[in-house]
Amino acid sequence: MLTTIIGIYTLYVLVSIYTSIMQIGYISQAKCKEAVLLSDTDFVKAANYSIRKEKMNLLSTFFEYLVFIAWMGFGIKLLQENLFFENEALLNIAIVMSFVVINSLISLPFGYYEKFVIDKEFGFNKSTLGLWIKDTLISFLMTLIFGSLVVWGIYFIISNFELWWVWSFVFIFSVIILINMLYPAFRATFFDKLTPLQDAELDESIKELMQKTGFVSSGVFVSDASKRDARLNAYFGGFGKAKRVVLFDTLIEKLTTKELLGVLGHELGHFAHGDIYKNIGLVGAMLFVMFALFGNLPDSLYLEMGLSNEPYVLMILTDAVVCQYLALL
């Protein structure tokens, strides 16, 4: 069984590598063609940026593969052998969160290189090293706090329900929806400062556009994202009447009203066609399949890995696959 899991993951990695190589080849050819919407200089710059990102993605994908093999081969067993708590709930939280934190730490060099080498070279990164360290520490702290609560919740479900994988799916899916609802408020509290849009004319134009698609929002806000990034972006967060429209300040500074409405129109198009809810449904369906799979693993898998059939092993295996899937969305 272990060989089968490694084989499936190896196939996934090979497909990812093949896709990146083909993408690099396609962009390398396309950048030699005549630009349409962008200037020739910006067109080539955008292509070179995409190529650099894909090359880094190749390296990180291969590295993640080696890390996965290490976890399956001896990593989880090392955690099991070196962490001791009499309380079973604390033991499960310690092992699973150690897995999460270690994965986060070993991925930091890739995040640093992307932001302070690639993004800086192409003029996107505006963050200082101090601000990046602060953001990283806040993210780690939030991961430890909320991650531990989620692990405790799943441990409780596994320990008390026979069809634990069904209720674990319901629990995790609910957490994902809750995160989506709270995302704007979370970013406003710990990262970006959100302020109501002050441009009355632009605010009215945006609201008229939203009314045409039936999009109900609690307001239009501006994020001071320029202190970290020079990219132009906007996003919607939340559900129902709690939805917020958030514009990066770079979007307002660099685009005309018509151009900005064009960007929002694209995003509202996803809402009008129900893409948001379709995506949520797809996430839910795939999560259900994954929990059903890992909720019925044979005991032979644990024997091959030299592990006992404990909740933390199930959570680590599920977490590894779920994170890979969510990264694709």
pLDDT at 110: 93
pLDDT at 328: 45
Is 156 found in the same domain as 71?
A: yes
306 Ramachandran zone, left/alpha/beta (phi>0; psi -120 to 50): left
168 burial (CB, 10 Å; 0-12 / 13-18 / 19+) is buried
Is 135 found in the same domain as 42?
A: yes
Is 12 found in the same domain as 141?
A: yes
Is 204 found in the same domain as 80?
A: no
Is 150 found in the same domain as 6?
A: yes
Assign residue 265 the CATH number of its domain.
Answer: 3.30.2010.10
Is 233 found in the same domain as 316?
A: no
Residue at 279 is within a domain: no
pLDDT profile of the chain (329 residues), mean per 10: 78 91 94 85 92 93 90 86 88 91 91 93 90 90 89 91 89 85 71 83 86 79 87 74 79 86 83 80 86 79 74 78 51
**Integer Cα distance of 12 and 65 in angstroms:** 10
**Radius of gyration for the chain, computed over Cα atoms and rounded to the nearest angstrom:** 22
Residue at 165 is within a domain: no
pLDDT at 188: 66
Is 156 found in the same domain as 11?
A: yes
Residue at 156 is within a domain: yes
Residue at 185 is within a domain: no
Is 118 found in the same domain as 75?
A: yes
Residue at 175 is within a domain: no
**Integer Cα distance of 71 and 152 in angstroms:** 22
Residue 151 · residue 92 · CB < 8 Å: yes
Count the domains in the chain: 2
Residue 181 · residue 237 · CB < 8 Å: yes
Is 152 found in the same domain as 21?
A: yes
Residue at 292 is within a domain: no
Is 260 found in the same domain as 211?
A: yes
Is 303 found in the same domain as 245?
A: no
Q: Which domain holds residue 31?
A: 2-160+297-328
pLDDT at 23: 94
Residue at 181 is within a domain: no
pLDDT at 234: 81
Residue at 268 is within a domain: yes
Is 123 found in the same domain as 7?
A: yes
